[in-house]
Structure 1
Amino acid sequence: MLKLLHTADWQIGKLFGQFTPDVAALLAEARFETIERLAQLATQRGVDLVLVAGDVFDLQGVADRTLYRLFKAMTGFAGPWVVIPGNHDAALAESVWTRALRLKAIPDNVMPCLQPQPVLLESPGVAVLPAPLTQRHTYTDLTEWFAGAETPPGMLRIGLAHGCVQGLLAADIDAANPIAAGRAAQARLDYLALGDWHGARRIDERSWYAGTPETDRFRNNDSGHALLVELAAPGGVPQVEAVATGRYHWHSLEPVLQVPSDLTELVQRLAAFAANDVVNLSVSGRIDLEGHRRLHSAIEQARGTARGVLVDLTGLQLDPSVQDIESLQADGYLGLTIQELRAAQDGPNAALARDALVLLTGLLSDRRAAAARTRP
């Protein structure tokens, strides 16, 4: 019985530039913590080896300190780690991998496969066939050699590749770094460990994407896992278990506000987020002044609780009610200006008009409140 842990797409060094620097730093730090959890998981579950199917690093130019930190994070599992470069950390003539080797940062039990040649592990009796990327984009199938590769009789044959299985994933990524559908069967593989797709996904009974072990984008694709794989004997069907490994949960909300209950529901959802949530909020529809204040307060409270909150209100129109305008005492020119700004939200300068309307009504509201405080 062979037991292995399949993971991929660590993207160490990812910058998360869409967030504020403090949030970005915490998200980047979480990726190291997740590697530590992977090592602990491998040890606790008694696996024979760990397969890392590419994109260990998010870019070639990570700092030397990052290299040392990563390999330190892997020390919790003393067994073999078999690793291939992906499109983000391709095995160029001069790459992050050649630098790591020069620095002697890579432990002896970590085997980066920079050439397409079998890796034979006598114990536990497995031959790993790697297909490392040697450039960011390739247009030929680097797994073709698997079929003709000779391996010792009785050894399990496991493929390790990074790319896009043709005809099965989204059309917009079905181009560079192709992998033929049916490669596992054609190359007599007992298991094909894949990377590049950031969610855990079954391609066929012998071919799986592990996905990234720490979610890094707003996409509902079952990310934040590693795969525990058991193989009883050559030719047997692998048993695959997805194990949650990620710390942060990423949520994308796109509410359309039309009636007061829509806002009430959104406020409740924002209040429910916790410290390990990362939120992307894109609001559209229409809202009155009081609703806008409630929404702004709910967003600020969510930012104080969740790890990160991105907000896009460009699709939201501010629509002051009759009561709003009356309460502002915006008569004459001010009232006319408010009406013009309301109408302008349907034009080419909608965002500018909405921001001006928010500013103007806010100033009028503050003026009214100040006047109320000074009355005898």
Structure 2
Amino acid sequence: MPRFLHTADWQIGRQYNQFAVDDGVAIAEARLGAVVTLARLATENHVDAVFVAGDVFDTQTVADKTILRLFNAMRGYTGPWILIPGNHDAALAESVWTRAERLNAVPANVRLSLVPEVIAYESAGFAVLTAPLTQRHTYNDLTEWFDTADTAPGLVRVGLGHGAVQGILAAEIDSANPIAPDRASTARLDYLGLGDWHGLKRVDARTWYSGTPEAERFRGNEPGYVLLVEVDGLGIEPRVTPLQTGRFEWAQWEHAVGVPSDADELIDRLAGVQDNHVLELVVRGQADLNTLGRLNGALTSAEARARSLSVDLSALRLIPSDADISALRADGYLGDVISTLRDLQSGTDAAVATHALGILTSILADRQASEVNV
């Protein structure tokens, strides 16, 4: 009986302008790398086909070079690929798909399903019912026709669609491109493979979102997988196994610092940062000069290892200790200003005084460091 890979939401051509140029290029390149991995996994697992449930491309306007590179990345698997358009790459009269065809970029083993159809692979024992998007947003369930579609007796029925299963995803997503939650049952499908939700998600035993094979945002919804689906017989629940494909791990950290041991905890965590990490870090609280210096050193080291590390220290206040102030050797007028600010820290203007003291201490520390380096 058939086995296949189910994937979706490749978003090839997506740009990451929020990152430094070299980081953004590497993260975008990883999306093509994920396709290479998919082709390898398809070959290693001897699947009968690979189903791609929409949003292969991020936009209709990707460069011709990007189209050619995508289909080149798929060449590692020579069996059938069945691709449908999603909302990002809908099958418009003029689209990324029509350009791909004009470029002769599509290999013979790749089927672009640009209209609803039944694609039968009788020798492999299955038929695919497709529901491609022909415009970015629809308000009718494009999978409804599956219910009345005929397939040859004995063939496993597989549905392929792109949209939001009603009542399952977040309310703000359950709008355009709706899909009935019981479609697998009403259409007598052995498996319904969906795209649009970028994380791995089981709707029911026969209905799954594969998610995107390479993470592209900081939402923790289990991206970075492809689904290996094995159907052992008609009417038997499919066996679905997630296989990891993602290169980069995206994460957002928030860390509060109140005492030096809090900083030690963060420093230890930063020591584990690897070259596949894409991190956003927000640090809040307060630290003295020594603690801040150690933290900055750890951040510099982690930034050199990570693919991308974005740090926000705007909510971390510098609160100099007695030892810090003594080490700065501020005398005369500056000494008087520091003394006044420290007195004000216990009054109604404590917040302003603390902020000013932190700024002054930081300037003095930078000046002292510059004098040492000279």
Do they fold alike, i.e. is TM over 0.5?
yes
Which deviates the most, 314-323 or 192-201?
Answer: 314-323
Distance in 1 separating the partners of 2:360 and 2:29? 42
What's the counterpart of residue 27 of structure 1? 27
Which deviates the most, 326-335 or 29-38?
Answer: 326-335
Once the two structures are TM-superposed, the CA of residue 338 in structure 1 deviates from its matched residue by 8.3
What's the counterpart of residue 163 of structure 1? 163
Once the two structures are TM-superposed, the CA of residue 82 in structure 1 deviates from its matched residue by 0.5
Once the two structures are TM-superposed, the CA of residue 28 in structure 1 deviates from its matched residue by 1.1
Residue identity opposite 1:110 in structure 2: V
Once the two structures are TM-superposed, the CA of residue 325 in structure 1 deviates from its matched residue by 3.1
Residue identity opposite 2:5 in structure 1: L
Residue 337 (structure 2) aligned to one of 329, 333, 338: 333
What's the counterpart of residue 224 of structure 2? 224
What's the counterpart of residue 57 of structure 1? 57
Distance in 1 separating the partners of 2:116 and 2:146? 9
Once the two structures are TM-superposed, the CA of residue 64 in structure 1 deviates from its matched residue by 0.5
Once the two structures are TM-superposed, the CA of residue 105 in structure 1 deviates from its matched residue by 0.7
**Equivalent residues in 2 for 1:1-376 (5 A)?**
1-328=1-328, 329=330, 330-333=334-337, 336=340, 360-369=360-369
> TM-score w.r.t. structure 2 length?
0.91
Once the two structures are TM-superposed, the CA of residue 259 in structure 1 deviates from its matched residue by 2.4
Whether contact under 8 Å (1:167, 1:181) holds in the other structure is yes
What's the counterpart of residue 350 of structure 1? none
Which deviates the most, 141-150 or 329-338?
Answer: 329-338
Once the two structures are TM-superposed, the CA of residue 163 in structure 1 deviates from its matched residue by 1.2
Distance in 2 separating the partners of 1:175 and 1:346? 47
Residues 362/258 of structure 1: CA separation in 2 closer, same or farther (3 Å cut): closer
Residue identity opposite 1:280 in structure 2: E
Once the two structures are TM-superposed, the CA of residue 152 in structure 1 deviates from its matched residue by 1.5
Once the two structures are TM-superposed, the CA of residue 226 in structure 1 deviates from its matched residue by 0.5
Once the two structures are TM-superposed, the CA of residue 370 in structure 1 deviates from its matched residue by 6.1
Per-residue CA deviation, residues 102-150 of structure 1 (Å, 9 max, x unaligned), is: 1111111111111112122222122111111122222221111111111
Q: What SS is found at the alignment partner of 2:172? A: helix
Distance in 2 separating the partners of 1:129 and 1:344? 70
Residues 364/64 of structure 1: CA separation in 2 closer, same or farther (3 Å cut): same
Residues 331/37 of structure 1: CA separation in 2 closer, same or farther (3 Å cut): same
Distance in 1 separating the partners of 2:298 and 2:18? 21
Distance in 2 separating the partners of 1:207 and 1:150? 20
Consecutive unaligned residues in structure 1, runs of 5 or more: 348-352
Residues 344/199 of structure 1: CA separation in 2 closer, same or farther (3 Å cut): farther
Whether contact under 8 Å (1:341, 1:357) holds in the other structure is no
Percent identity among equivalent residues? 53
Whether contact under 8 Å (1:55, 1:85) holds in the other structure is yes
Once the two structures are TM-superposed, the CA of residue 66 in structure 1 deviates from its matched residue by 0.6
Which deviates the most, 362-371 or 130-139?
Answer: 362-371
Q: What SS is found at the alignment partner of 2:268? A: helix
Which deviates the most, 308-317 or 363-372?
Answer: 363-372
Distance in 2 separating the partners of 1:258 and 1:159? 54
Residues 203/368 of structure 1: CA separation in 2 closer, same or farther (3 Å cut): same
Residue identity opposite 2:3 in structure 1: K
Per-residue CA deviation, residues 2-61 of structure 1 (Å, 9 max, x unaligned), is: 010011111111111111000111111111111111101101110000000111111111
Which deviates the most, 73-82 or 128-137?
Answer: 128-137
Whether contact under 8 Å (2:92, 2:135) holds in the other structure is yes
CA RMSD of aligned residues (A): 2.5
Q: What SS is found at the alignment partner of 1:172? A: coil
Residues 69/2 of structure 1: CA separation in 2 closer, same or farther (3 Å cut): same
Whether contact under 8 Å (1:317, 1:345) holds in the other structure is no
Per-residue CA deviation, residues 212-240 of structure 1 (Å, 9 max, x unaligned), is: 11111112222111010001122111001
Q: What SS is found at the alignment partner of 1:171? A: coil
Which deviates the most, 287-296 or 182-191?
Answer: 287-296
Distance in 1 separating the partners of 2:165 and 2:315? 37
Per-residue CA deviation, residues 317-348 of structure 1 (Å, 9 max, x unaligned), is: 3333343334332422355578889999968x
Q: What SS is found at the alignment partner of 2:40? A: helix
Distance in 2 separating the partners of 1:52 and 1:191? 14
Distance in 2 separating the partners of 1:192 and 1:357? 62
Whether contact under 8 Å (1:16, 1:24) holds in the other structure is yes
Whether contact under 8 Å (1:325, 1:335) holds in the other structure is no
Residue identity opposite 2:93 in structure 1: A
Consecutive unaligned residues in structure 2, runs of 5 or more: none
Distance in 2 separating the partners of 1:79 and 1:345? 70
Residues 170/341 of structure 1: CA separation in 2 closer, same or farther (3 Å cut): farther
The count of residues paired between Structure 1 and Structure 2 equals: 369
